[in-house]
């Protein structure tokens, strides 16, 4: 436990990573004065539940992985338990999903790793040496295309990756998107061997639900974590960060009315661009270069409508639609059902297709209604009772090969400065559990640095 009464840590960014970091600091070092800043009017970042047709719908993330790849509950489940929401976790009523192809919906094949089949393939000839050298990184497409063919990548792998990153298989880092496969590829000379090893390494409890959400919505998790923190300052962007004696000085607030805050330690839990701006005034440190994809989600509350018995479906880019995924929200989540309504949420915006988002909300809703109807093989969807568009400009990080090395290099340069750590989706993975773990790791590093 930290003994130094009166020492302050500033957590910049109140998304789930910053919240998890601040919560961990409070739990493990209660003598520290922890101040969390967020430029928004509410904490949570990409997690936010809003109302649609009088019920909750997610503006951003809808669920998180229940299990940790190393076994046991995921960090997100553990955080929920720590803030008293363990009994409020819910799981999909159906996890059965499909992929749109050639005018129909095809069930997603079982037993694959992110759409990569584990069966043998004549193209996957053993080369006599591992697929990857230690630490080597390639794109997911770079590894999979030559050994499984374009059809597997375009029809299954890319849409599944797209559901998480909105990203393209030929751009995304294998180490970031499929770390277990990258590790296995260092020991196997075939993709089949590597996929089987990665699947076998998963410590999943048979029959356990893969995904969890919070009854009532993700904002409950955000609010429950924020409620444990004594000093959350909202509507306050941190504009500058400077070394100051043995610690840091932050410039906070609007340009017209800025104030300064001093802190012994800093956790930067903001996306890559604001982090790079803040770090630009720290000698010898440069943020990690990272592109982001933009997405828009169109939520439609329809009068009760019969839909296929699925949680939703993915749409490969090769099918020629702007919509990339559709969730049958209330079919997937029974806690979100309301009598007489059917809620559908569709996402638009693959990396590189930003022009699709340059429409008004009304045009985007029309496009989504039209495309979803065509994908379902019907003429038209009924007129919605309520509808909304949620835009996430630059919302999803697009990790390119060797991102992990760039993050390690940043952390190494930060180690030469007073207590400072970076956390969040810009560094350690896009999923909520990865962001929570990232926040916890940053908090532990800061406690260690301040104790040192
Ligand atoms: C549409 C969408 C759907 C998703 N669905 C899922 C899902 O179902 N499951 C899943 O696991 N993941 C999902 N994700 C990914 C996941 O939600 C994010 O990766 C994760 O929430 C990011 O958390 P974070 O704390 O790193 O960053 P953010 O949530 O981006 O939080 C960063 C915070 O920093 C603040 N900030 C920025 N600059 C400053 C500054 N200068 N000063 C002060 N504050 C600042 C911002 O206001 C923001 O609150 C989804 C993401 C999107 C966009």
Sign of CA dihedral 327, 332, 336, 342: positive
For a mutational test of ligand 1's pocket, the pick from 15, 16, 292, i.e. the residue with the most ligand atoms closer than 8 A to its C-beta, is: 15
Confidence of residue 67 (pLDDT cuts 50, 70, 90): very high
| Interior/surface letters 421-448, b for 16+ CB within 10 angstroms, e for the rest | bbbbbbbbbbbbbbbbbbbbbbbbbbbe
Q: For all residues of the chain together, what is the average pLDDT?
A: 94
Q: Which protein residue has the closest C-alpha to ligand 1 atom 7?
A: 61
Q: For a ligand 1 pocket test, name from 13, 234, 272 the mutation site with the most ligand atoms within 8 angstroms of its C-beta.
A: 13
pLDDT (tens digit, 9 = 90+) per residue, 80-97?
Answer: 999 999 999 999 987 789
Structural domain boundaries enclosing 235: 8-47+220-290+399-451
Give yes or no: residues 337 and 420 share one domain: no
Q: Kindly report, residue by residue over 145-170, the tens digit of the pLDDT.
A: 999 999 999 999 999 998 888 889 99
> Cα separation of 217 and 300, whole Å?
17
Q: Which of 200, 230, 265 is the last residue of a domain?
A: 200
Q: Span 201-230, mean pLDDT?
A: 91
319 and 304 in one domain?
yes
Rounded to a whole number of angstroms, the distance between the first and last alpha carbons of the chain is 12
Q: Are residues 274 and 416 in the same domain?
A: yes
Q: How many domains does the chain have?
A: 3
Q: Does 14 contact ligand 1 (Cβ within 6 A)?
A: yes
What is the pLDDT at residue 353?
Answer: 84
Within-domain flag for 100: no
Q: Which of 44, 250, 270, 389 to mutate to test the pocket of ligand 1 (most atoms within 8 A of CB)?
A: 270
Q: Do 128 and 153 belong to one domain?
A: yes
- Cα-to-centroid distance, 21 and ligand 1 (Å): 14
Whole-angstrom distance, CA of residue 120 vs CA of residue 195: 10
Instruction: For residue range 329-367, list pLDDT tens digits in order.
Output: 889 998 888 899 999 999 998 888 888 899 999 999 999
Indicate whether residue 270 lines ligand 1 (CB < 6 A): yes
Name the nearest CA neighbour of 240 among 253, 230, 229: 253
CATH number at residue 281: 3.50.50.60
Q: Is 355 helix (H, G, I), strand (E, B) or coil?
A: helix
The Cα 157–Cα 143 span in angstroms is: 12
Task: Give residue 186's pLDDT band: very low, low, confident or very high (50, 70, 90).
Answer: very high
Q: What angle do CA 69, 73, 75 make, to 5 degrees?
A: 85
Task: Answer yes or no: is the C-beta of 348 below 6 A from any ligand 1 atom.
Answer: no
Assigned domain for 94 exists? no
User: Could you tell me if 304 and 278 lie in one domain?
Assistant: no
Which atom of ligand 1 has the smallest separation from the CA of 43?
49
Separation of CA 54 and ligand 1 centre (Å): 25
Distance 239 CA to ligand 1 centre (A): 19
209 phi and psi, to 5 degrees?
-65, 140
| The last residue of a domain, from among 358, 378, 398 | 398
Element holding 408 (H helix, E strand): helix 403-414
Domain boundary among 170, 200, 230: 200
Condensed to tens digits (0 to 9), the pLDDT of residues 30-65 reads 999 999 999 999 999 999 999 999 899 999 999 999
pLDDT in tens, 374-407: 999 998 899 999 999 999 999 999 999 999 999 9
Q: Is the pLDDT of residue 448 over 70?
A: yes
Per-residue pLDDT for 204 more than 80? no
Predicted local confidence at residue 435, as pLDDT: 98
> Strand 97-101 vs strand 49-52: parallel, antiparallel, or unpaired?
unpaired
Per-residue model confidence as pLDDT tens digits over 308-329: 999 999 999 999 999 999 999 8
Residue 397, classed as helix, strand or coil, is strand
Same domain, 392 and 404: no
Residues 384 and 394 in one domain: yes
Q: How far is CA 58 from the centre of its chain?
A: 14
**335, 423: one domain:** no
Confirm or reject: Cβ of 392 under 6 Å from ligand 1.
Answer: yes
pLDDT of residue 71: 86
CATH of the domain at 361: 3.90.660.20
- The answer on 341 and 262 residing in a single domain is no
**pLDDT reading at 2 higher than 50:** no
CA dihedral 326, 328, 329, 334 (to 10 degrees): -150
Would the pLDDT of 203 be above 80?
Answer: no
CB of 99 within 6 A of ligand 1: the answer is: no
Domain co-membership, 312 together with 277: no
- Give mean pLDDT, residues 256-273: 97
User: CA triplet 347, 352, 358: central angle to 5 degrees?
Assistant: 60
How far is the centre of ligand 1, averaged over its atoms, from the C-alpha of 105 (Å)? Answer: 31
The DSSP result for 381-395, as a single string, is PPPPSEEEEEEEEEE
CA distances from residue 131 to 128, 151, 177 in whole angstroms, order as listed: 9, 21, 17
What's the average model confidence in pLDDT over 173-178? 97
CATH of residue 149: 1.10.3110.10
Q: What is the arithmetic mean of pLDDT over 110-114? A: 91
User: Does residue 63 form part of some domain?
Assistant: no
Q: What is the pLDDT of residues 237-252, one digit of tens each?
A: 999 999 999 999 999 9
Together in a domain, 351 and 443: no
Cβ–ligand 1 distance for 295 under 6 Å, the answer: yes
Residue 102 lies in a domain: no
Which one is predicted more confidently, 102 or 424?
Answer: 424
Could you give the 3-state DSSP secondary structure of residue 198? helix
Q: Residue 174 pLDDT more than 80?
A: yes
Backbone angles phi and psi of 130, in degrees to 5? -55, 150
In a domain, 71, yes or no: no
Q: How far apart are CA 432 and CA 440, in angstroms?
A: 12
For residue 3, what pLDDT is reported? 44
Helices (H), 36-157: 75-82, 140-148, 150-152
Q: Which of 432, 436, 437, 438 to mutate to test the pocket of ligand 1 (most atoms within 8 A of CB)?
A: 432
CA of 125 to the centre of ligand 1 (A): 41
For ligand 1, atom 49, name the residue with the nearest CA. 45
Interval between CA 382 and ligand 1 midpoint (Å): 33
pLDDT category of residue 5 using cuts at 50, 70 and 90: low
Q: How far is the CA of 45 from the centre of ligand 1 (A)?
A: 4
For residue 1, pLDDT beyond 70? no
Residues 387 and 245 in one domain: no
């Amino acid at each position: 436990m930290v003994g130094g009464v009166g020492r302050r840590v500033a957590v910049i960014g109140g998304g789930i990573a910053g919240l998890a970091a601040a919560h961990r600091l409070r739990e493990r070092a209660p003598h520290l004065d922890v101040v969390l800043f967020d430029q928004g009017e509410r904490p949570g970042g990409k997690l936010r539940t809003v109302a649609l047709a009088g019920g909750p719908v997610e503006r951003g993330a809808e669920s998180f992985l229940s299990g940790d790849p190393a076994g046991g509950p995921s960090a997100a489940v553990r955080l929920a338990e720590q803030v008293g929401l363990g009994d409020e976790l819910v799981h999909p009523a159906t996890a059965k999903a499909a992929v749109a192809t050639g005018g129909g919906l095809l069930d997603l094949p079982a037993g694959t790793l992110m759409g990569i089949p584990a069966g043998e393939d004549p193209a996957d000839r053993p080369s006599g040496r591992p697929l990857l050298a230690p630490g080597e990184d390639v794109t997911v497409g770079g590894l999979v295309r030559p050994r499984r063919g374009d059809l597997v990548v375009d029809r299954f792998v890319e849409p599944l990756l797209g559901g998480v990153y909105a990203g393209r298989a030929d751009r995304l880092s294998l180490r970031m998107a499929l770390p277990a496969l990258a590790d296995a590829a260092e020991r196997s000379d075939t993709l089949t061997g590597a996929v089987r090893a990665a699947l076998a390494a998963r410590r999943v409890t048979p029959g356990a639900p893969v995904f969890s959400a919070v009854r009532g919505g993700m904002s409950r998790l955000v609010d429950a974590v924020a409620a444990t923190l004594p000093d959350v300052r909202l509507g306050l962007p941190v504009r500058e960060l400077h070394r100051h004696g043995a610690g840091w000085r932050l410039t906070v607030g609007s340009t017209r009315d800025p104030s300064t805050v001093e802190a012994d330690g800093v956790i930067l839990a903001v996306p890559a661009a604001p982090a790079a701006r803040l770090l630009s005034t720290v000698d010898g440190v440069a943020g990690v270069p990272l592109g982001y994809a933009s997405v828009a989600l169109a939520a439609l509350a329809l009068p009760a409508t019969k839909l296929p018995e699925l949680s939703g479906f993915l749409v490969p880019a090769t099918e020629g639609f702007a919509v990339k995924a559709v969730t049958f929200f209330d079919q997937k989540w029974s806690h979100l059902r309301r009598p007489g309504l059917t809620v559908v949420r569709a996402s638009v915006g693959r990396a590189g297709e930003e022009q699709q988002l340059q429409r008004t909300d009304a045009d985007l809703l029309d496009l989504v209604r039209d495309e979803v109807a065509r994908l379902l093989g019907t003429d038209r969807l009924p007129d919605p009772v309520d509808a909304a568009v949620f835009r996430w400009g630059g919302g999803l990080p697009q990790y390119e090969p060797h991102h992990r090395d760039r993050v390690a290099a940043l952390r190494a340069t930060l180690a030469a400065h007073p207590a400072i750590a970076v956390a969040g989706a810009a560094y350690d993975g896009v999923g909520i559990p990865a962001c929570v773990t990232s926040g916890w790791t940053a908090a532990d590093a800061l406690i260690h640095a301040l104790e040192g």
